[in-house]
Structure 1
């Protein structure tokens, strides 16, 4: 069992234990287990821990094909999952658009202020003045009743079919890079074509997030499945580790979104 943990960060051990509990539940009950929304790193960990065994299988769905945050469904081999089994709702925010501007951080802040954890919500979609988000259907009645304000705007929620999600253009450009190491500052330098010094300054100024958490340590080790966002530069996700170059640099396949 300890061999599983050595491939991940020490702080990820509680989540690995949770995944193992989900797996054991499916094995013991022979029934499916639905999770809350997982970020891409958590999805990667779940895939790694569950593996390709026949006894327990898994699927991901976040409300649309290109969702970043997704719910996972673990299930025994007899079960044939459908989209409806993920219990995801799509909600559009109705507000006085002519007079008020609502942005992504305001929506997330208002949702969190209701006392609901982040993992109950999926992606937030903004297309001009139209704003939608995905959420667990289990908390739908609570959201409909309690979400009445965002910033200074009075709001109402309207549930829509999933296929009516706004199409937000988001194209990741894949490329291979070589970095001096898997340190966070080294990956940022190689991905965004910056000097190591500038990368370190960005990190020290708290302008960099690793898997949605602000990181202040330039030496933080990066792993496959990580998502890095640097303010004003964009986002980078580590798709795969490809070994080392002849000069002993790390080779990586990354996705870039600017």
Structure 2
């Protein structure tokens, strides 16, 4: 990714929205791209930017420039959700996120046109642009060796609940490197290397400060390892340590 070109494109979308009183939006952004947007958020504030991923715990999202306060009318967010179900549940394979993503890439779809893929049992929900949803309904008929049916569903009809593995332990402080180490069983030096290689994000914002004091409900993702929520911090013990609870995303 050319970061300068990406930032220039954000500026162009913001200017178009502001000058023409029309809503504009980006493709689906990776966490790194979201982080670049956050770096520019103050200078793009004239265009009232908002992030949308289709669900609360999104990894990938779009940035929409414009608002009802600016334009005097409500814009429609051009997102849709496609539900993928096996045609014959009895013979369906256990399919992973990678399997669904591979099937989409085999259709020639660019990654930036697809948001999150949520796998729930033998079904999956694919967030995408509205124009892409119709294409998926016609073309996504097979994932690996499993024949599937793809249909557009209302966001209210999404029956998905994130599953977690709860992990708790004691840390000297809720420093981000301590929580990352606890979550994935890493040594302090290994956890530190993840910050140095820019692999740690909090809600789409790159965090390079390993000493950052995390707050309960922070959602932290570590590239190559996964994502977890800092769910609870207990009181300080007599030995000056804190009992913390993490929810590690399955």
TM-score range normalised by the length of the shorter chain:
0.5 to 0.7
Can you list the C-alpha shifts for 1:200-251, whole angstroms capped at 9, x where unaligned? Answer: 9xx9xxxxxx8xxxxxxx95245761341344xx43689xxxxxxxxxxxxx
Q: Alpha-carbon deviation of 1:164?
A: 0.9
Say which SS state the counterpart of residue 69 (structure 1) adopts.
coil
User: How far, CA to CA, are the matches of 2:31 and 2:160 in structure 1?
Assistant: 20
Evaluate the alpha carbon distance shift between residue 47 and residue 81 of structure 1 in structure 2; reply closer, same or farther with a 3 A threshold: farther
Cα pair 2:92 2:122 within 8 Å, conserved: no
Cα pair 1:38 1:71 within 8 Å, conserved: yes
User: How far, CA to CA, are the matches of 1:223 and 1:66 in structure 2?
Assistant: 16
Q: 2:227 aligns with which of 235, 240, 258?
A: 235
User: How far, CA to CA, are the matches of 1:125 and 1:223 in structure 2?
Assistant: 22
User: How far, CA to CA, are the matches of 1:178 and 1:140 in structure 2?
Assistant: 38
State TM-score, norm by structure 1.
0.66
- Answering whether residue 109 of structure 2 is matched by residue 116 of structure 1, we say yes
State TM-score, norm by structure 2.
0.68
- Answering whether residue 93 of structure 2 is matched by residue 93 of structure 1, we say no
Q: How does 1:47-62 map to 2 (within 5 A)?
A: 47-51=38-42, 55-62=46-53
Aligned to 2:4: 13
Unmatched 5+ residue regions in structure 2?
Answer: 167-172, 207-220, 231-245
Can you list the C-alpha shifts for 1:145-194, whole angstroms capped at 9, x where unaligned? Answer: 22121101222211111111122225699x83165xxxxxx995476452
Say which SS state the counterpart of residue 66 (structure 2) adopts.
strand
Q: Alpha-carbon deviation of 1:109?
A: 0.6
Cα pair 1:23 1:50 within 8 Å, conserved: no
Q: 1:133 aligns with which of 126, 139, 146?
A: 126
Cα pair 2:85 2:148 within 8 Å, conserved: yes
Cα pair 1:64 1:163 within 8 Å, conserved: no
